[in-house]
Structure 1
Amino acid sequence: MSALGIETAGLGEQGDPARPRPRRPGLALAGFALPVVLAVLWEVAVRSGFANGRLMPPPSVVGATLWSLAASGELFTHAAATLWRVAAGFALGAAAGTLLGAITGALPVARGLIDPTLQALRAIPSIAWVPLFILWLGIFEASKVALIAVGVFFPVYLGVAAAIQGIDRKIVEVGRVFRLGRLAMARRVLLPAILPAWITALRSGLGLGFMFVVAAEIMGASEGLGYLLVDGQQLGRPDTIIAAIISFAVLGKLADGLLVALTRPVLAWQDTARDKL
């Protein structure tokens, strides 16, 4: 039997091996099992008197705080302010990181001139930028967005630069065999080769954007989930602090899911082991 016949016979009832299996709803819901179990255990521990819920309130108290903030509209106001800052900072940081990453990854001269400085700046803690940005840009939105953009920039820059430098030489040689021009080589060979790493870098940058927005909103913000954190600290309200943390987690997960959904079509050509598991 020919190799083609063997492959066809192997398909059988399984269908096209390149077609990803649909995700089972049970597996998606299983991700909620651990936090739900931990929340129930803590609620039981506090209600039964085995634990003190003053500094770590039980889920029922945190839920009541979230409901109160949502009913008053305060939660949506803070969440909207945080999302706007993250979106603006992410757009600026991702664009700059992609551009400079592509330049330093593709041009050895630019890599030698620019990369050492950027690697040194990458080691600076986020909080160290706060007084400088306030001095340069003031205490309002510009300084906050700039700080978030810095957080997003570095993982995107590193991901793009490393992806370009790590392109397999064999696929470039294939493009040359087919006599592709520079533009065709970039569009049909180089761009698809770096897309997976670029999208992973964007997801890393988005996660850091949500981390940096906390530092950004601590510096004089009058609204935002970071401001809600500080407000809970000053008022001695751990339930407010935990409610803000949970809101950060939910918004971050939703934003990451949206980014994955938007970028999934550009990776539809991939035939990875993940799709077969």
Structure 2
Amino acid sequence: MAKNQSELASVLVTSRGVKQKSVRVKKQYKGLQSIMLGSILPIVLITVWELLSRIGFFPSYQLPAPTVIFQTIVGMAQDGTLWGHIGITTYRVFAGFVLGTIAAVILGSLVGFYKKAEQLFDPMIQAFRSIPSLAWVPLFILWMGIGEPSKVTMIAVGVFFPIYLNIVSGILGVDRKLIEVGKMYGLSTFQLVRRIILPASLPSFLVGLRSGLGLGWMFVVAAELMGASQGLGFLLVVGQNMSQPETIIASIILFAIIGKLSDWVLKKVETRSLHWQDRLVK
């Protein structure tokens, strides 16, 4: 009898292992399929672009071929200048993202939880949200000069607004019935926040993080117009001043690649943080 139970347990363990392996293989296949599908449009676009450039449809002084742009990126990578530009731009975006997120979490939580705070802060914040990014440039230069503080602050301003809005909407959008049920079970205010309000508003907050990071990559261009001597935004200015479209487009492509990678990281964090949700599986 004991032998049969042991054999049954062994079979169950083996079956469970095979099932888990099958699930992993399916996930890997779906991931590979997603990458291949997402690569179709860029490959087609680059191929058509290269062919049209080679036959002279696009003037080289306006839109150089992708191979020329690739050679420009490789050249900067070989002489070491590329890594300095990428590094300083990434640092500025990361620093601004952290500062903007901290400010958004503090103010967004206050406005979301307290009606008086909403009446006090929200009208002014909504007014500031309408100010164009470039309008801040001369003011920040006047206040902080052309050093790193003004650039990081500029990016933090851009990051702040989408995160703030998503935090407030996430908190205000929590189902009141859930809160009432929590009160019926005797949960304290702190327990209500930790067990109900924070989990319910987390999806909105994570969407705000991704939106804020995307705006951070956009605002860094305006920030690097403030007297920068290094950075991908600085490369845009150099390409314009030197009439080098390959440098301009190389910088734009690098922005797209790094921005996509950073968004991919946040998306992975979002997926893992919300694994408990019963969401539509595509």
Matches within 5 A, 1:173-252: 173-252=180-259
1:257: how far off? 1.2
TM-score for both structures, normalised by structure 2: 0.88
Number of residues paired by the alignment? Answer: 259
Task: Give the SS at the match of 2:224.
Answer: helix
CA distance in 1, matches of 2:165, 2:140: 23
1:132: how far off? 0.8
1:135: how far off? 1.0
Percent identity for Structure 1 against Structure 2: 49
Q: Is residue 2:133 matched to residue 1:120?
A: no
- Aligned amino acid, residue 148 of structure 2: E
| Equivalent of residue 155 in structure 1, options 162, 165, 189 | 162
- Aligned amino acid, residue 278 of structure 2: D
1:264: how far off? 3.1
CA distance in 1, matches of 2:171, 2:271: 21
Identify the residue that residue 61 of structure 1 maps to in structure 2: 68
Higher relative contact order (CA 8 A, sep 6+): 1
| Structure 2 stretches lacking a partner, 5+ long | 1-18
1:220: how far off? 0.2
- Aligned amino acid, residue 80 of structure 1: G
Q: Is residue 2:178 matched to residue 1:171?
A: yes
| Equivalent of residue 278 in structure 2, options 249, 271, 274 | 271
What do residues 98-120 of structure 1 show as CA deviations (whole Å, max 9, x unaligned)?
11011111111110111000000
Task: Give the SS at the match of 1:133.
Answer: helix
CA distance in 2, matches of 1:178, 1:53: 71
Over the aligned positions, Cα root-mean-square deviation in angstroms equals 1.7
1:174: how far off? 1.8
1:27: how far off? 1.7
Change (3 A) 1:130 1:50: closer
Q: Is residue 2:265 matched to residue 1:261?
A: no
Indicate the larger mover: 229-238 or 41-50: 41-50
TM-score for both structures, normalised by structure 1: 0.90
- Aligned amino acid, residue 73 of structure 1: G
Identify the residue that residue 105 of structure 1 maps to in structure 2: 112
| Structure 1 stretches lacking a partner, 5+ long | 1-14
1:260: how far off? 2.1
1:258: how far off? 1.4
Task: Give the SS at the match of 2:194.
Answer: helix
Q: Is the 8 A contact 2:156 2:216 kept in 1?
A: yes
Q: Is the 8 A contact 2:163 2:211 kept in 1?
A: yes
Indicate the larger mover: 41-50 or 94-103: 41-50
Matches within 5 A, 1:72-151: 72-151=79-158
1:36: how far off? 1.3
Task: Give the SS at the match of 1:218.
Answer: coil
Bigger-Rg structure (1/2): 2
1:188: how far off? 0.7
